[in-house]
Amino acid sequence: MITSDDGLNIIKEFEQLRLKAYIPAPGDVPTIGWGTTAGVKMGDTIDLKTADQYLRRDVHSCEDAVSLACGELLTQSQFDACVSLTYNIGGGAFRQSTLVKKIKSHDPLAADEFLRWDKFQGVPLAGLTRRRKKERELFLKLPVSAPLSALQDSSV
């Protein structure tokens, strides 16, 4: 499975494009583009094309982590929400999370686990709270189904 536009849009909305390396929060690591941290150092600059390439690379890594952990159990919206979370917290944290355990056990309250990931260094951050609520909402989104008219017998 690959991330849909819904998942990418959440990532882009909350990561925000930055073409010059910056520190998102005190004590955090240098970040650039759409939230890329791998190999970034202060003073780095990139262009939009490079930011998008980094995003695709980083999302692909997150897709692999989610797929390996529980991908076959997820709808597209659930997969997208999990990829967005993984993009922010990392593959290792996602794989070890209670969210994954609850998904695997078919726990109907699994979506509530998103809300637990709203802290940085133990302190709740409003931006993370907003992001987790959006990811939870996406996780709970019902799959698109065929319209009722398509299900009716056309010979009647």
The bridge status of strand 31-33 relative to strand 119-120 is unpaired
How far from chain centre, in Å, is Cα 61? 12
Tokens of 143: 């799959």
Which residue type, as a one-letter code, is found at position 102?
K
Q: How many CB atoms lie within 10 A of CB 116?
A: 11
Indicate which residues carry an active-site annotation. Answer: 15
Burial degree of 53 (CB within 10 A; 0-12, 13-18, 19+) = middle
Q: What does residue 129 show for φ and ψ, rounded to 5 degrees?
A: -60, -45
Contact of 87 with 11, CB cutoff 8 Å: yes
Assigned token pair, 47: 């262009």
Q: Are 33 and 17 in contact (CB under 8 A)?
A: yes
